[in-house]
């Protein structure tokens, strides 16, 4: 028998092409069409989301305000390791200040150093205006203009700023500052705010997420078990906050929670508290927790409902028929099947909570503000975008770690959001 008699027959299409090759081409064409369909959305996300965020986060490690305008002083720092400036250092400083004055960039230079040492911006702008009048010896001329030019920590800050790439903003975000010897050290306790804000943000976010779970679990269970007409009405009430402006909801809580607000008036009317003992629920952590729990509650209810709706009631009935108590049935039969919904709602509420800043800013006061409020402050008021980017990068990293931990414990594939 010849080899041609034993060779397997090649399947072909109607037009005579090998079936395997035709299927491969069809699959490749389908993938190309699918990619072209999502390409506009991909480009839109890249241009409006990924690129701006990446550009903003790059500011946390790159700041060229000083290095681009103080070239001669930067060259002196590159050639000298000493923190004690000599006449050549002051000569380079004066030369750069003359250029900065001509280019009107002295404010940017001073702003960069002011990030490290508050109160030094005016030194640079004032010295730049008088730089053309200064003559050798430049050290005496600069010290006569302002004795603070001899400060070791000032020269240490300028040395650090002479390099465009820096981790100084991450140091500042960890409540550290440049010391007199040029190294970073812990900032005075009375100005350490960022680490405390990070801790407060995560603690309050955990508390708010826990409250959302405690309040949302029974509501989601009712949604999944009530008859359709009642469940539909309850779902409308759950979704109602989505149809109301966030600012309106927050200001409504301000009316309810303030000292002369509705809740305190009702408590006084009922005799629960005296008129001089009204509860303080505004401009503190209590107000932040109450308002944010209300705002984030639907984000916990909907994932839980989507999971509970798929749990057959027959499981609980079977457990009860076998002698299990209500608590045992809930703990061993019902609750394990809702873990994916609990995880999805929990991570969603937590991530939203750590990034909120409108509600804490309005009802939180000094004790209820979060790290996001400080990021907004540096973006809008102090204009220290590099420090804001460092704080945002640290917050983003912590959220990614949480997301990774959720993936390891529960699994992203098991996440159900509705």
Residues lower than pLDDT 50 in the chain: 1-2
The pTM of the full predicted model, rounded to 2 decimals, is 0.84
pLDDT digits (tens, 9 = 90+) for 266-277: 989 888 888 888
C-alpha–C-alpha distance, residues 355 and 344, integer Å: 17
Instruction: Please tell me whether the peptide bond between 137 and the residue prior to it is cis, using omega within 30 degrees of 0.
Output: yes
Supply the pLDDT for residue 1.
46
Supply the pLDDT for residue 32.
92
Supply the pLDDT for residue 246.
85
**Degrees, nearest 5: CA angle 56-291-373:** 25
End-to-end CA distance of the chain: 64
Supply the pLDDT for residue 304.
94
Supply the pLDDT for residue 417.
54
Q: What is the 3-state secondary structure (H, E, C) of 142-204?
A: HHHHCHHHHCHHHHHHHHHHCCCECCHHHHHHCCEEECCCCCEEECCHHHCCHHHHHHHHHHH
> According to CATH, where is 1.10.3720.10 located in the chain?
194-414
CATH architecture for residues 194-414? Orthogonal Bundle (1.10)
C-alpha–C-alpha distance, residues 58 and 114, integer Å: 20
């Amino acid at each position: 028998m010849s080899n041609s008699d034993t060779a397997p027959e090649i399947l072909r299409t109607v037009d005579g092409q090998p079936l395997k090759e035709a299927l491969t081409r069809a699959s490749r064409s389908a993938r190309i069409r699918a990619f072209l369909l999502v390409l506009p959305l991909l480009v839109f996300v890249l241009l409006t989301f990924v690129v701006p965020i990446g550009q903003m986060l790059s500011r946390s490690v790159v700041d060229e305000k000083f290095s681009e305008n103080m070239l001669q002083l930067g060259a002196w720092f590159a050639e000298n390791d000493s923190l004690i400036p000599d006449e050549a250092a002051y000569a380079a400083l004066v030369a750069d200040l003359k250029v900065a004055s001509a280019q009107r960039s002295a404010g940017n230079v001073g702003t960069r150093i002011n990030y490290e040492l508050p109160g030094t911006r005016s030194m640079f702008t004032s010295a730049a205006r008088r730089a053309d009048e200064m003559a050798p010896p430049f050290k005496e001329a600069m010290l006569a203009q302002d004795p603070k030019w001899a400060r070791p920590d000032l020269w240490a800050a300028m040395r650090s700023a002479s390099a465009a790439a820096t981790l100084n903003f991450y140091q500042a975000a960890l409540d550290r500052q440049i010391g007199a010897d040029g190294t970073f050290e812990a900032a005075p306790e009375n100005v350490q705010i960022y680490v405390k804000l990070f801790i407060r943000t995560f603690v309050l976010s955990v508390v708010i997420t826990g409250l959302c779970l405690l309040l949302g679990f029974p509501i989601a269970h009712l949604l999944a078990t009530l008859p359709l007409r009642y469940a539909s009405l309850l779902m409308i009430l759950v979704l109602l906050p989505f149809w109301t402006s966030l600012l309106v909801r927050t200001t409504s809580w301000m009316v309810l929670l303030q000292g002369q607000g509705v809740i305190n008036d009702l408590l006084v009317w009922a005799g629960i508290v005296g008129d001089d003992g009204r509860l303080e629920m505004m401009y503190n952590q209590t107000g932040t927790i109450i308002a944010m729990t209300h705002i984030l509650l639907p984000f916990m209810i909907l994932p839980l409902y989507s999971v509970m709706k798929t749990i057959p009631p027959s499981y609980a009935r079977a457990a009860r028929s076998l002698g299990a108590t209500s608590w045992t049935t809930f703990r061993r039969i019902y609750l394990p099947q809702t873990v994916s919904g609990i995880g999805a709602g929990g991570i969603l509420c937590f991530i939203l909570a750590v990034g909120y800043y409108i509600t804490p800013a309005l009802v939180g006061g000094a004790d209820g503000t979060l790290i996001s409020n400080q990021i907004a402050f540096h973006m809008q008021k102090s204009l220290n975008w590099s420090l804001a980017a460092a704080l945002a990068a640290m917050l983003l990293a912590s959220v990614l770690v949480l997301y990774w931990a959720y993936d390891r414990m529960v699994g992203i594939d098991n996440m159900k959001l509705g």
